[in-house]
Amino acid sequence: MKCGWHIYLVSLLAAAAACLLVALPSCRPEHTPRLIEPEGREPLVRVRLTFDAPAAPVSVRGKWQLYDLATGRLLQNGEDLAPKALAAQGNFLMLNGRSLETERAAIVPQTDGALAVNDLRYRGQLRLFAVEGRVVLVNALPLESYVAGVVGAEMPPSWHLEALKAQAVAARSYALFHMKRPGRSAAFDLSDSPAVHQAYDGLRKETDTSAAAAVQTRGRVLAWNDQGTEKVLEAFFHSTCGGRTLPIQEVWPGSPPCGPLAGVECGYCRTSPAWHWTLRLPAAMLRERLILAAPMLTTMGPIHRLAVRPEDRSPGGVVRAVSAWTTDGERWPVPVAVFRRAIYASHPIRSERFEVTLAEGTATITGRGYGHGVGLCQFGAQGLAAQGRSAEAILSYYYPGSRLVQVY
């Protein structure tokens, strides 16, 4: 009886203490953000291939089926589809010279990886769209197969597995962000071009190590708390930061600030050939190329001096414009996009963090880094992995404030 009374008294005191804590402002529970809900199963991602022509060099080894995407109706089936059998006439698809009477269709092979476009093999299925006499191709495949291909295209297979795993999570996060992005195309989610989204060459770059990186991180993405709502992070990445990654709003003005993409110090990418780089070309050649890139510069005289003014550079060093002074003292502001395009053919500028000078008739451009500089630094990830850091630690370093979420 004494023991029971003691328990009763303790419970009363605990309840009173709990009420007191709730009453104190400093002890009020924080608002819990709305978290990402698991999706349950692996989704399909739709990747537009960089191909656009009246006839499509598509081939299939083994059995295949062709469906109308609008109705789901089986149109044809067969075995060993030959290249260039598919074409577009107006807004209708053609197969072996006969109209399929639809503008949208899908080739579904019986064997995974039996599809080929221009001798590049792909997993999944191939969706075809006839648009004004041209065929648009979209590879639809499981997200994990896509991630294995991206990792292989973005990082060497010999790199440390933890770096490859970090890349797999970043690539999956980036893809899933675009798969859910409002206003995306009704036909595809991403492009296979690294200049637009992520590098993807189907099975050509997929390796045992890239596949292992995808398998060992299956379904894991990066998320962040955006004003009380957890969202999948658009996990940008690039080759080499050259010492520091950049805030997203410096690279793409108008972008809202994002904590995990605010930029971090990085000394781990020093092994990259693009850690620091130098380009040189004659000033007369530079002037000719500038005029070709921007006809508005046709009347520009011989260049006497080149420089980037402090006001034409972001706080993180991103160049907005290059100034060219002519021999008559006139200053010509050249947007950085025009400047890069002018010398891209033989002298690609690896990043927009550079200095430019002119001496003895030669323009010298010295810069650091390769790529836009936002998010994961790939050479930095390899450097951290070589020091024994895990993929989770690498991701936490380059995307501070993010967290790993299992979405399927």
pLDDT band at 4 (very low <50, low <70, confident <90, very high): very low
Tokens of 50: 């960089």
Tell me, yes or no, whether 19 lies in a domain.
no
Looking at the fold, whether 227 and 292 belong to one and the same domain comes out as no
Looking at the fold, whether 110 and 156 belong to one and the same domain comes out as no
Looking at the fold, whether 103 and 173 belong to one and the same domain comes out as no
Tell me, yes or no, whether 183 lies in a domain.
yes
Tell me, yes or no, whether 46 lies in a domain.
no
Over residues 72-76, mean pLDDT: 96
Looking at the fold, whether 152 and 69 belong to one and the same domain comes out as no
The pairing of beta strand 376-377 with beta strand 237-238: parallel
Largest CA distance in the chain: 105
Tell me, yes or no, whether 263 lies in a domain.
no
Tell me, yes or no, whether 35 lies in a domain.
no
Looking at the fold, whether 299 and 385 belong to one and the same domain comes out as no
Looking at the fold, whether 296 and 382 belong to one and the same domain comes out as no
Looking at the fold, whether 174 and 111 belong to one and the same domain comes out as no
Q: What pLDDT, in 10s, does the model give residues 254-284? A: 999 999 999 999 999 999 999 999 999 999 9
Tell me, yes or no, whether 33 lies in a domain.
no
| pLDDT value, residue 365 | 97
pLDDT band at 33 (very low <50, low <70, confident <90, very high): low
**Last residue in a domain, options 104, 132, 160:** 132
Looking at the fold, whether 229 and 160 belong to one and the same domain comes out as yes
Over residues 165-191, mean pLDDT: 94
Share of residues in the chain with pLDDT > 70 (%): 92
Q: What pLDDT, in 10s, does the model give residues 80-100? A: 998 878 999 999 999 999 999
- The pair phi, psi for residue 238, each rounded to 5°, is -155, 175
**Last residue in a domain, options 132, 154, 171:** 132
Over residues 313-319, mean pLDDT: 95
Which amino acid, residue 363? Answer: A
Distance of alpha carbon 250 from the chain centroid: 17
- Taking the complete model, does pTM exceed 0.85, yes or no? yes
Average pLDDT, the chain: 90
Tell me, yes or no, whether 6 lies in a domain.
no
Cβ burial of 339 (10 Å; 0-12, 13-18, 19+) is buried
Query: How many domains does the chain divide into?
Result: 3
pLDDT at 320 over 50: yes
Tell me, yes or no, whether 251 lies in a domain.
no
pLDDT at 337 over 70: yes
Looking at the fold, whether 152 and 188 belong to one and the same domain comes out as yes
Boundaries of domain holding 318: 277-367
Over residues 369-375, mean pLDDT: 98
Report how far residue 173's alpha carbon sits from residue 221's, in angstroms, rounded to the nearest whole number.
5
Looking at the fold, whether 88 and 127 belong to one and the same domain comes out as yes
Looking at the fold, whether 102 and 151 belong to one and the same domain comes out as no
**Last residue in a domain, options 86, 101, 132:** 132
Distances (CA, A) of 306 to 277, 291, 359, 362: 18, 15, 9, 10
Looking at the fold, whether 314 and 395 belong to one and the same domain comes out as no
